[in-house]
Chains A and B, each alone.
Chain A
């Protein structure tokens, strides 16, 4: 029998219990072979292993736990997807989230995901909603900004450092060629980049406890759709590599200058 430690929820030094919602997405494993089916209109999932999006798991979720553990608050994870996603949600619970919600629909676009998350979060008074900076499949970076807009909240992307009091968060935001240090009023939506936290591997106790944590399944609210992938293509073969002798770097420079025209 695993021991279940019960924390009495106690307010932080600012007299407040932090409530955080972490949005998690299911993506193909980083080593997955990418191919398409249905006349190149759909991703071929056969033989593909799915994982929790690394930016959601390693950074957004773990930082949320650091801010809420030990009774300082509560972390809820949310996923918009079918029952097959429960394995990933349970992993999030095993890592340490207090509870989970799955909106039961097969989302066809980012906007649908964002509208479902916003519809759930609207009356729950979360202090913070965290997402990964992007998913590693479609690389859109859209969900956070959309959720923030639907809830009329500020949005800060690419957080590599995040601290929060009851009314404001202090964030380091990665920008091209530098870092921005900023303060934002809460509630807010923040997307997580590398550096925000360290990856956690769930332990056996966490896995056992996850089985008993609540996973609520809610019906979708039915969101609108205005974009659609009509065709996927794979990049053409590069052709074979042109090898240059290691003692003839003048030739490489000539090729880069005259043939590739890049220097």
Chain B
């Protein structure tokens, strides 16, 4: 019996979600009296480090076919590894990669699937209940899996990675994964910025900024905090900011530790994308803005005065 965590990599380095998945799997293993096995597909630098997050064993499937991502190839590798270690729970990240795999692996193992879990399950194997947000974060659901095994994807920033003094060695697993039908030609990356779905600090602005030329004060605040910038839908639709920064129900859902909303009124569709943030700060000149109802801290004032002052206060705090 084992709890299997698929540790995602990008450019052969583990993503933060890999450490989250292994930490979560180790917690589930402790709860169910099982052991945590980490799975690496393809090459990874320093795969042994997963032992420090609670993996008792690390298995690696690496062939020519696993060099780039194809959901068929990767799902086969994960399902075969799950069978090899007799996994009762398989943990993926709720990322673009994990979401491409969850349904496939569930069908291969004839296991119930739960996307976007954020709690350690209650119950025992064959009768596990996982918690997860639904309706774009407006509610939560407890989902019971009645099949002997379960495949889940773990919401980002739900379980912080925890280091232990554990160690584990890497075993190579020889399985047949088939030929890829997807050929990755190139990858364009936005360098140096934490992607929004993974960001712990987010500075977001809306129509209150009035014009794209005024975005500088938002970026200065984000730089000082080392935060990722985001925007509301009207700002993305107007072309002031790229679509990949649009946060909300039809954009990206974020769940950072800190979300600073500047000049955003707080339409229900925007709130749906942010209301799982741990702390929300709202800066708006309209004291009646609905966003204040969802905020932990609020500042009523003109953003063109408040934001530079906040940037300066953070600068002082960082220097202290």
Interface residues of chain A, those whose CB is within 8 Å of chain B, are 28, 30-31, 34, 36, 54-55, 110-111, 114, 134, 136-146, 148-150, 154-158, 173-185, 188, 194-195, 226-235, 238, 241-247, 249-250, 252-253, 255-257, 260, 262-263
Contact between B99 and A145 (Cβ–Cβ < 8 Å)? yes
Cβ of B187 within 8 Å of any chain A Cβ, yes or no, is yes
B139 touching A246 by the CB < 8 A rule?
Answer: no
Query: Distance (Å) between the CB of B234 and the closest chain A CB?
Result: 14
Pick from A137, A148, A249: contact of B134, CB under 8 Å: A137
Chain B residue at smallest Cβ distance from A183 = B183
**Docked CA distance A28–B15 (Å):** 34
Interface residues of B in 53-82 (CB under 8 A from A): 69-72, 75
Task: Tell me which residues from 269 to 320 in chain B have a Cβ below 8 Å from any Cβ of chain A.
Answer: 269, 272, 275, 278-279, 281-282, 292-302, 305-306, 309-310, 312-314, 316-317
By a CB distance below 8 angstroms, the chain B residues around A155 are: 71-72, 100, 104
Secondary structure call for the B interface: mixed
User: In the complex, A184→B190 CA distance in Å?
Assistant: 24
Q: A195: which B residues are within 8 A, CB to CB?
A: 243
Asked whether, in the complex, the Cβ of A252 is within 8 Å of the Cβ of B310, the reply is yes
Collect the chain B residues with CB atoms within 8 Å of residue A257's CB: 317
Verify B185–A226 contact, CB threshold 8 A: no
Other A-B contacts than A34-B135, A149-B104, A246-B299, 16 sampled, CB-CB below 8 A, are A30-B268, A110-B113, A136-B250, A139-B116, A148-B104, A154-B181, A155-B104, A156-B71, A173-B96, A176-B195, A177-B195, A181-B186, A232-B140, A241-B296, A246-B305, A263-B201
Which A residues are in CB contact (< 8 Å) with B113? 110-111, 142, 227
Q: Known contacts A184-B181, A226-B146; decide if A31 and B268 are in contact (CB<8 Å).
A: yes
A144 CB contacts on chain B under 8 angstroms: 103
User: Which A residue sits closest to B314, measured CB to CB?
Assistant: A253
| B185 and A244 contact, CB distance less than 8 A | no
CB-CB nearest in chain A for B257: A262
Chain B: interface residue count, which band? Answer: 35 or more
- How many angstroms from the CA of A246 to the CA of B302 in the assembled complex? 8
Q: Which of A110, A140, A234, A247 contacts B139 (CB 8 A)?
A: A234
In the complex, chain B residues whose CB is within 8 Å of the CB of A184? 181-183
Please tell me if the beta carbons of A241 and B292 are within 8 angstroms of each other in the complex.
yes
A-B contact pairs, 8 of them (CB 8 A): A34-B139, A111-B103, A143-B103, A145-B100, A241-B296, A242-B297, A246-B301, A263-B201
Any chain A CB within 8 A of the CB of B197? Answer: yes
- Residue numbers in B under 8 Å from A139 (CB-CB): 115-116, 133-136, 253
Nearest A-chain residue to B253, judged by Cβ: A139
- Tell me if B249 is interfacial: C-beta within 8 Å of chain A: yes
Residue of B nearest to A185 (CB): B181
Q: How far is the CA of A153 from the CA of B294 in the complex (A)?
A: 43
Q: How far is the CB of A126 from chain B (nearest CB, A)?
A: 16
A263 touches B317 (CB 8 A): yes
